[in-house]
Structure 1
């Protein structure tokens, strides 16, 4: 047993070291390729307008708060209720866990956190995470496609995104997701998670599309803070750009939190609406902003959860979520 554990830890250390090496090389290559742009980007960063940066950070925080509601919605539809403060902690902890080399920490952080609420069905939590990621990705591609129209940008990048969204749509379809989850989770002794009703999935797609528009507003103000002048009609495109960056970050398993990969994709897409210096500066500000906001919201969630622990028991048991249909059927 000790030998197996030691071997496993060695493999994890090697994987972590390789990931850090890849990130270092990737960031170095990007810095070299953009060496002529830094002369324009750095002065813009030093002279960034605090008001616009503050608005961008506030809107970004709103995006995350809305995103947490989406996950709560999914869990409620699957028959599980957790408080918002705990859901916020779990979501932000998993976001920050992406920076840790290794691919297991992101879902593991959320699983461990929700156990505080007594939710021990690991397969159900994993299923909710997969559904959240899939629905959010599809919504992001839809927003990006709509955003291309007013911008008039080349639609070449849309082809692989549409193909990716189509594959994800098939995988999260109830008739595919349920048997696939049964097979995968069954190998580890878990039970298959329940599926979402079609109506709920469509409603969530609309909801996540709205959250990406909110994310687009955040990037809009980041660009403005650096002297960029994007029009309001570019907000859907910028929201889609944020979605593409998030999708690339998830798919790039070798780069913790998609470091470098996310930035490269967003920088390239933002060139359709602003100059190179503004795009590079906004890319850097965006990474700093999302990290700071995630850490701040995690701390906020912890504070709210501790305050809520001192509330009367009756208040703790009250939920604003309606009794899910699935739970009613089982009772």
Structure 2
């Protein structure tokens, strides 16, 4: 049943996409199951655990990429409040539709006395920075992963121009208006956010390398940059398919397409399955940790600002 106010065509598109994804996944599993099951059967549990920890570190860096943008926010957030707003709110992305995680985070922020609009706008800006860094990673490194299909120097130049544009004040102001940010965000905070976002991508790539080694696929740490680029490409693809829960289907298809260029389809499928489990575990584990974090009293400055509001 369509959500209230949602056009019927969007609801139908979502259902059609999810059905097509399920059929494609079942067909792939049916055709490649002997190889997939063999890869999973010999998987190294220790490496899978390390991959799950890398996925959790990826989520933590993504949270840091958002939190650093709030350095000049009207109200100071405690570590516990920040963790709950981000990690618990992110569980909303497992519902169909892009906005649920923003809505959940906004409600959690309001419960902490933090303006709902500020929280949602800052998360939107962090998403734009994550998207920009993901596109940069894909443009800069993906051509090497898929072969000499284009002049890498041209692609790298385009990627660098894309990033440099983000440091032009006029472009920054436009991005802040798009995200509806009504408090100052220093250039240093944007650079720090971008740095955390890039670290998050490389941790995601490390997760894939560890899972590859866990199932015996011929990928090693020399492939880390290209694997990271492929993961970024898949994430951007999943984000664009906004009606898929947490990019389900589109992200896996993109990652599978990139990995299968270097390794067998069965091994790539096993890695993609394990990666989805690792990422889901990381999201829920971080949310659980945030929920049990002890409360700390607000600093005098934070309390004063809250009192004034």
- Which among 208, 214, 217 is matched to residue 197 of structure 2? 208
**What SS is found at the alignment partner of 1:273?**
coil
- 2:147 is the alignment partner of 1:153: yes
**Any gaps of 5 or more consecutive residues in structure 2?**
none
Moved more, 85-94 or 159-168: 159-168
Q: When the two structures are aligned, how many residues end up with a matched partner? A: 301
Q: Aligned residue for 1:138? A: 132
- Which among 258, 266, 276 is matched to residue 269 of structure 1? 258
Cα-to-partner distance string for 1:252-276 (whole Å, 9 max, x where unaligned): 1122211110000001111233221
- Which among 235, 242, 248 is matched to residue 246 of structure 1? 235
* Distance in 1 separating the partners of 2:103 and 2:156: 28
Q: Aligned residue for 1:189? A: none
**Any gaps of 5 or more consecutive residues in structure 1?**
1-6, 186-191, 322-326
- Tell me the TM-score normalised to structure 1 length: 0.77
- Tell me the TM-score normalised to structure 2 length: 0.81
* Distance in 1 separating the partners of 2:8 and 2:284: 25
**CA separation of 1:154 and 1:27: change in aligned 2, threshold 3 A:** farther
Q: Aligned residue for 1:4? A: none
Is 2:140–2:159's contact at 8 Å kept on the other side of the alignment? Answer: no
RMSD: 3.6
Q: Aligned residue for 2:121? A: 127
* Distance in 1 separating the partners of 2:36 and 2:151: 25
Shift of 1:138: 2.3
Q: How does 1:218-297 map to 2 (within 5 A)?
A: 218-297=207-286
Q: Aligned residue for 2:33? A: 38
* Distance in 2 separating the partners of 1:77 and 1:119: 13
Shift of 1:277: 1.3
Q: Aligned residue for 1:24? A: 19
- Which among 74, 91, 102 is matched to residue 97 of structure 2? 102
- 2:43 is the alignment partner of 1:48: yes
Q: Aligned residue for 2:288? A: 299
* Distance in 2 separating the partners of 1:29 and 1:97: 25
Shift of 1:77: 4.3
